[in-house]
């Protein structure tokens, strides 16, 4: 199940509830060590050297506990109490060129500026450019604010215990946190607190999407209309259509502008292709619309704007709006219970809110809620690092999957297409929140799989893989 994003005080409350239940703190530390060691083995190869940096607190105990479980790996432990005395030992250890450093210097209890000795030690670790696996929080980082106390470890991966801490989702924290992952299975009792922010876990999608009826046919699984593509931007329409097909709706029809029809039609086989005109009559079989991908070069802008606004305001069907079309939708209310989704990246979100992308990034939950409220309480998928899903009220969900190599043209078109292909299916419209979360997670997880397999993948490869990971 998804886990709440919490602050330090709430984590302490959780720990107290665990000890009060009779759970042994030593056993929890041992389980954390086992979980960290499992991740460290995945980051290294047999006979690699792992350098373990342990401070004098509980975080240091977690780090020391990893040694028992580092099967097949050489390891060296530096149990650091006074940093000045250990700088020579650190230099000697770094000279052995360890493949990984496990960071257990400070945990979430740090609440004061670091002295010069600690700053020098942390800076030396960062200068080494050796990948770091931080336990719970990168040492030196404030887990509540995301700011550092003079310096902080720049981790490749942070394996946080129990649940993410709110500060690690802040823009200021991203260079230090690296890839954020959660170690749930460490013996803590069920979290006693609930928060508006939740961290999606892969286990959330067990049994989802639900099994299809054995007698189902193409008429059973929806018909998506994709209104996309213009001169110079026809590739976006093709990518979105192919990605929609990976969600396996019964039918997909791309409505392209006449100038690009001869270009896009030969690239699509099982998807149908029609010409979009202001007077286009859409089939009665259509169950959802995607509008916006690759429309930046349209020479029918006024007619397309009118069509998009009317669709947003009047259609009873799900409408997903992306890219250029985000500028065309009205802030007026749409039909009650109708599904509306927008998928802005930070720059597009800033344009909608008449602010800057940096301000959006510095307050992503607030930006998402403001966009949703402005657009009639629609669903918002705020793309970017740790993509955020939600509406103006209710829970927000943070997506953990994906990597910086998604920063390629066409990646957003693929996501919009896949979301739309899922939401065209009536069965998946029953839980829009879960469907959106699943789509975003699949998109990121596909990119993670591709990056693990090869370093030169492109968006066309992503479209091939999306929906195929479990």
190: left (phi over 0), alpha (psi -120 to 50) or beta: beta
425 vs 321: CA distance, rounded Å: 17
Retrieve residue 250's tokens. Answer: 């019964």
Per-residue pLDDT, averaged over 174-178, amounts to 97
Going along the chain from its start, the domains and CATH numbers come out as: 3-195 (3.40.50.10260), 218-465 (3.40.1190.20)
pTM: 0.95
Retrieve residue 168's tokens. Answer: 């690690």
Measuring CA to CA, which residue among 404, 29, 79 is closest to residue 183? 29
Is residue 68 classed exposed, middle or buried when 0-12, 13-18 and 19+ CB atoms within 10 A define those classes? exposed
pLDDT in tens, 393-435: 999 999 999 999 999 999 999 999 999 999 999 999 999 999 9
Q: Are 195 and 6 in contact (CB under 8 A)?
A: yes
pLDDT in tens, 230-251: 999 999 999 999 999 999 999 9
Cis amide prior to 405 (ω within 30 degrees): no
pLDDT in tens, 92-135: 999 999 999 999 999 999 999 999 999 999 999 999 999 999 99
């Amino acid at each position: 199940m998804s886990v709440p994003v919490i602050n330090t005080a709430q984590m302490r409350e959780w720990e107290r509830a665990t000890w009060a239940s009779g759970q042994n703190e030593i056993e929890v530390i041992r389980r954390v060590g086992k979980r960290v060691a499992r991740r460290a083995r995945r980051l290294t190869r047999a006979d690699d050297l792992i350098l373990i940096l342990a401070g004098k607190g509980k975080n240091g105990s977690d780090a020391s506990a990893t040694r028992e479980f580092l099967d097949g790996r050489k390891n060296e432990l530096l149990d650091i109490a006074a940093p000045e005395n250990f700088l020579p030992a650190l230099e000697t250890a770094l000279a052995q060129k360890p493949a990984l450093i496990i960071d257990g210097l400070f945990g979430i209890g740090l609440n004061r500026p670091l002295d010069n000795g600690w700053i020098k030690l942390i800076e030396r670790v960062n200068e080494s450019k050796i990948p770091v696996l931080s336990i719970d929080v990168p040492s030196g980082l404030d887990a509540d604010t995301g700011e550092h106390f003079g310096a902080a470890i720049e981790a490749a991966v942070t394996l946080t215990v129990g649940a993410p801490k709110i500060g690690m989702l802040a823009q200021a924290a991203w260079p230090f946190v690296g890839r954020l992952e959660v170690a749930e299975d460490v013996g803590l009792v069920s979290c006693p607190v609930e928060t508006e922010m939740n961290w999606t876990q892969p286990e959330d999608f067990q049994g989802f999407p639900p099994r299809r009826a054995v007698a189902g046919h193409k008429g059973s699984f929806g018909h998506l209309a994709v209104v996309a593509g213009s001169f110079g931007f026809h590739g976006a329409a093709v990518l979105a259509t192919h990605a929609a097909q990976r969600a396996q709706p019964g039918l997909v029809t791309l409505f392209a502008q006449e100038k690009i029809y001869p270009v896009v039609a030969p690239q699509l086989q099982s998807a149908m292709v029609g010409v979009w005109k202001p007077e286009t009559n859409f089939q009665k079989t259509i169950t959802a619309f995607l509008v916006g991908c690759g429309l930046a070069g349209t020479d029918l802008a006024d007619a397309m704007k009118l069509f998009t606004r009317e669709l947003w305001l009047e259609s009873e069907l799900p409408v997903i709006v992306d890219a250029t079309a985000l500028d065309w939708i009205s802030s007026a209310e749409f039909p009650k219970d109708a599904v509306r989704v927008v998928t802005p990246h930070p720059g597009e979100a800033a344009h909608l809110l008449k602010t800057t992308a940096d301000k959006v990034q510095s307050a992503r939950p607030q930006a998402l809620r403001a966009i949703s409220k402005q657009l009639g309480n629609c669903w918002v998928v705020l793309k970017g690092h740790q993509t955020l899903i939600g509406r103006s009220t209710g829970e927000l969900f943070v997506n953990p999957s994906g990597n910086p190599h998604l920063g390629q043209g066409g990646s957003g078109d693929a996501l919009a297409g896949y979301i739309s292909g899922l939401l065209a299916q009536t069965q998946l419209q029953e839980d829009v929140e879960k469907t959106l979360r699943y789509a975003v997670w699949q998109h990121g997880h596909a990119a993670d799989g591709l990056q693990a397999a090869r370093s030169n993948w492109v968006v066309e490869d992503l479209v091939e893989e999306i929906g195929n990971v479990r």
